[in-house]
Amino acid sequence: MNNFTEENFSSDGVSLKKKLRRSLFKSKMRAFFLVLPLLAFLAIFFVIPIINLLSQSFLDFRYATLMPGSTQALKDWDGKSFPTEEIAKAMVIDLIQAKKNKTIGKVATRVNRELSGTRSLFTKTARAANKMEAPYMEALIKKDKKWENLKTWQAIKISSMAVTPSYLLAAVDRKYTAEGEIIQQDENRRIHVTLFLRTIEISVIVTLATLLLGYPVAFLMASLPLRTSNLLLILVLLPFWTSLLVRTTAWIAMLQSSGVVNDLLVFLGVTADDARFSLIYNKTGTLIAMTHILLPFMILPIYSVMKTISPSFVMAAKSMGATNWTAFWRVYFPMTIPGVGAGAILVFILAIGYYITPALVGGQDGQMISNIIDFHMRSSLNWNLAAALGLVLLIFILFFFWLYDRFVGIDNMKLG
Amino acid sequence: MKKRAIPIYASRGDVAWFYTFRFICALVFLFLIFPIIIIIPLSFNQEPYFSFTSGMLSLDPDAYSYRWYWDILKNGMADPDASNGWWADMWNNAQWIRSIKNSFIVGIFATILATVLGTVAAIGLSSSHMPYKRIIMSLLISPMIIPLVITASGLFYSFSQVGLAKNYLGLILAHAVLGTPFVIITVTATLVGFDQSLTRASASLGAGPVRTFFRIQTPLILPGVISGALFAFITSFDEVVVVLQLADVRQRTIPRQMFSGIREQISPTILAVATILVILSIILLTIVELLRRRSERLRGISPE
């Protein structure tokens, strides 16, 4: 007879414990294999491409591969003393080669990013390089005085580093010197920190504005009977389902100087016909349009939390002598915090990476960090800097994504 | 007993606040809906402006026209006045028609891909045995969270190295990536409420796992799958940041065409297109809402 300390065996003689473990493992594998195709798909077409780009923020092999001789020679240079004749010789040989391979433009662009004005120096010197004779340093300086400048050589040394902190530092308006120090970027090139701050400012304002507008609406919908609130919900969901471009276009029609809002204000006598407000193609336009576009993302989570709060809590508070305000602020509001948190983090995350609306209605002072990333990707073609800015933005977003997951939970995300 | 909106014991201040509050909410709803509604009359403008003319305000029929709707068809045609081969010319050359075709081609294929991969993954994810659920879920949702500019730049940079940039395949793959989180979210939401005893009941009545899947599980999760697919479709249909980087002029979609329309030559044609899109979104919203109700009814959760 079996007693309790012994293991139980099934009819085929395998211990039940082992069988259970085996079957659990099987269902684990089955669940995992169902997710695997999508995981592989996302890895290949989403994660790896993005990592590939972001790695460009600290990797730049361009100078090192195109100008191997001078890269090698500059490695041993301390960055303070004047470069040796050996370095100058390697430079001239590299320039001749680069000119022949027609890669001098790429090299010049790379160095120019470290020190502006060096592009022409490189192209000009390369044209004359095959006629140069020893001593090479003198020949270089004879061609252009800039070769005498220590700053030029320092910029070249930094460009020759394959693993470079330059771009990431440039993304936060710092720069790396040949002596290995990190200093502030020149005054006229300090634009990114301002832009990051403005992006955060716009996102915070939009988050607060959507909260201010969304909370009462969610409260109203939660207090109405379900049939009515479902109808009102459609009014919230319609903008949610309407194309972003349509909504942005609508705001152009509303806010432009001859638009509906200004017409109405002139008609009401708020402003004179020749003193219409400029509400669009600036920060105001970006703020209004983004608040409108992101408002449903605030209302929906708050509403779904408020729906579950029983009205008897507030009634109980009032029956015990609380005023309306106390009952709301001390009893009702704390219970809606999870919804407010979910909505606020979601709106903030979406706002901080916004591109289209600022691009279309932002004008000059309504541009955000995404717009400059796109500018460097498509116009200036400085992909390394775009990657660096993207990496900084991404770190920021991932922090808030982590917060969202901690306090709300990814699985609680709902749509409509 | 009918529940009263204002309780009988409410003071005068309460009543005043009640109506003030409703008025504030009405203003917020107006803010939400008004801009979308206002473009509909504007799209029938006779003049090439984005604003109401005095004729429109006095409801003069001559101030309204279908002109910009015709422009959707005619813009880009080789010869809009020819009677011969007008339809073929329109179908092949009109800019907006081409962008509509592109939007549907990319949208439909991306939706199929996203829905199949997303649904299968959601079934795995909702199993209680799924290992590393939280981290995998965050990864699968991340295309929705990571700024589109970063996704677009990354895909453009990497796809152009392997010949996937500037063609339909790359665009479809990119939009499928962006659509999967929506499918995951809607399908897992349906599966969370799924009563597992139904599959056991089915098995006890002699149905095999395949038969159970098709006859019991599928009809119950189908509404979730369809609304997930609609979300994926609208995501692709509305997406412009990836298209800006990854597509060239031959793959221009509707939002891309609108984007350059707003930037370069702003004309009420955009408003006409916008009006059509608003109607489309109303239709889609209705379908999703009906599906949601059907799903609730099937699972025995009814409103009220």
Do B145 and A397 count as a contact with CB atoms less than 8 A apart? Answer: yes
**What confidence score (pLDDT) does residue B176 get?**
97
Instruction: Determine contact, residues A96/A68, Cβ cutoff 8 Å.
Output: no
Residue A296 has pLDDT above 70, yes or no: yes
**What confidence score (pLDDT) does residue B304 get?**
36
Residues A36-63: what's their mean pLDDT? 94
Tell me which chain A residues have a C-beta less than 8 angstroms from the C-beta of B7.
none
Q: Is residue B201 part of a domain?
A: yes
Domain that holds residue B163: 100-298
* Secondary element (H or E) of residue B112: helix B95-125
Residue A62's CB is within 10 A of a number of other CB atoms, namely 18
Confidence of residue A7 (pLDDT cuts 50, 70, 90): low
CA–CA distances in Å: residue A374 to residues A396, B142, B148, B242: 18, 20, 10, 11
Do A239 and B36 count as a contact with CB atoms less than 8 A apart? Answer: yes
Do A245 and B258 count as a contact with CB atoms less than 8 A apart? Answer: yes
Tell me which chain B residues have a C-beta less than 8 angstroms from the C-beta of A414.
185, 189
CA–CA distances in Å: residue A222 to residues A297, A317, A336, B266, B296: 16, 19, 11, 41, 19
Q: Is residue B153 part of a domain?
A: yes
Do B240 and A48 count as a contact with CB atoms less than 8 A apart? Answer: no
**What confidence score (pLDDT) does residue B1 get?**
40
Report d(CA A121, CA A141) in Å as an integer. 11
Tell me which chain B residues have a C-beta less than 8 angstroms from the C-beta of A315.
none
* 126-185 of B, contacting A, C-beta below 8 A: 127, 129-131, 134, 136-143, 145-159, 173-174, 176-177, 180, 182, 185
- Closest Cα of chain B to A302: distance in Å? 15
pLDDT for A305-358, tens place per residue?
A: 898 888 889 889 989 988 888 999 999 999 998 889 889 988 999 999 999 999
**Residue labelled with tokens 């895909």:** B155
Do A353 and B148 count as a contact with CB atoms less than 8 A apart? Answer: yes
Do A397 and B131 count as a contact with CB atoms less than 8 A apart? Answer: no
Q: Is residue B258 part of a domain?
A: yes
The tally of CA atoms less than 13 A away on the side-chain side of residue A131 is: 6
CA-closest candidate to residue B220, choices B244, B196, B246: B196
Residue from the list B21, B227, B262 with its beta carbon closest to the beta carbon of A216: B21
The residue of chain A with its CA nearest to that of B278 is: A242
**What confidence score (pLDDT) does residue A369 get?**
92
**What confidence score (pLDDT) does residue A348 get?**
93
Do B50 and A225 count as a contact with CB atoms less than 8 A apart? Answer: no
Residue B237's CB is within 10 A of a number of other CB atoms, namely 24
Residue A137 has pLDDT above 70, yes or no: yes
**What confidence score (pLDDT) does residue A262 get?**
87
For chain A, the average pLDDT equals 87
Confidence of residue A413 (pLDDT cuts 50, 70, 90): low
Query: What beta strand segments (E) does A2-138 contain?
Result: none
- Closest Cα of chain B to A267: distance in Å? 13
Q: Two tokens at B11?
A: 């003071």
pLDDT for B157-215, tens place per residue?
A: 999 999 999 999 999 999 999 999 999 988 888 887 777 788 888 889 988 878 888 88
Q: Is residue B19 part of a domain?
A: no
CA-closest candidate to residue B244, choices A169, A378, A22: A378
Q: Is residue B4 part of a domain?
A: no
Tell me which chain A residues have a C-beta less than 8 angstroms from the C-beta of B174.
45
Give me the interface pTM, i.e. the ipTM.
0.86
**What confidence score (pLDDT) does residue A45 get?**
96
* 189-218 of B, contacting A, C-beta below 8 A: 189
CB under 8 Å to A13, separation ≥6 — which residues? none
The residue of chain A with its CA nearest to that of B242 is: A374
Beta-carbon contacts below 8 Å between A and B: 285
What DSSP state is assigned to residue B214?
Answer: I
**What confidence score (pLDDT) does residue B237 get?**
92
Residue A4 has pLDDT above 70, yes or no: no
Q: Is residue B38 part of a domain?
A: no
The residue of chain B with its CA nearest to that of A253 is: B50
Percent of chain A with pLDDT over 70: 96
| Exposure string over A340-368, b if 16+ CB within 10 A, otherwise e | bbbbbbbbbbbbbbbbbbbbbbbbeebbb
Phi, psi of B13, deg, nearest 5? -60, -40
Tell me which chain B residues have a C-beta less than 8 angstroms from the C-beta of A56.
157
Q: Is A66 helix (H, G, I), strand (E, B) or coil?
A: helix
pLDDT for B229-260, tens place per residue?
A: 998 999 999 999 999 999 988 899 999 999 98
Residue B80 has pLDDT above 80, yes or no: no
Residue B220 has pLDDT above 90, yes or no: no
Residues A250-266: what's their mean pLDDT? 88
Report d(CA B281, CA A241) in Å as an integer. 6
Tell me which chain A residues have a C-beta less than 8 angstroms from the C-beta of B259.
245, 356, 360
Residue B132's CB is within 10 A of a number of other CB atoms, namely 10
- Closest Cα of chain B to A127: distance in Å? 31
- Closest Cα of chain B to A145: distance in Å? 38
pLDDT for A146-180, tens place per residue?
A: 888 888 888 888 888 888 888 988 888 888 877 77
Report d(CA B185, CA B190) in Å as an integer. 9
State the total domains in chain B.
Answer: 1
Q: Two tokens at B286?
A: 């209705």
**What confidence score (pLDDT) does residue A388 get?**
95
Question: Which residues does residue A9 pair with via DSSP β-bridges, in sequence order?
Answer: A15
Residue from the list B124, B147, B271 with its beta carbon closest to the beta carbon of A249: B271
Confidence of residue B300 (pLDDT cuts 50, 70, 90): low
A135 cis-preceded (ω within 30 degrees of 0):
yes
Residue B303 has pLDDT above 70, yes or no: no
**What confidence score (pLDDT) does residue A62 get?**
86
Q: Is residue B256 part of a domain?
A: yes
Do B180 and A227 count as a contact with CB atoms less than 8 A apart? Answer: no
**Residue labelled with tokens 């590299």:** A94
Measured in residues, chain A has a length of 416
Residue A416 has pLDDT above 50, yes or no: no
**What confidence score (pLDDT) does residue A274 get?**
82
Do A245 and B240 count as a contact with CB atoms less than 8 A apart? Answer: yes
Q: Is residue B17 part of a domain?
A: no
Q: Two tokens at B217?
A: 């599980």
Say which CATH number the domain at B285 has.
1.10.3720.10
Report d(CA A124, CA B178) in Å as an integer. 47
**What confidence score (pLDDT) does residue B28 get?**
95
A37 touches chain B (CB under 8 A): yes
* Secondary element (H or E) of residue A176: strand A174-176
Percent of chain A with pLDDT over 90: 32
Higher-confidence residue of A268 and B82: namely: A268
For chain B, the average pLDDT equals 87
Q: Two tokens at A197?
A: 């701050």
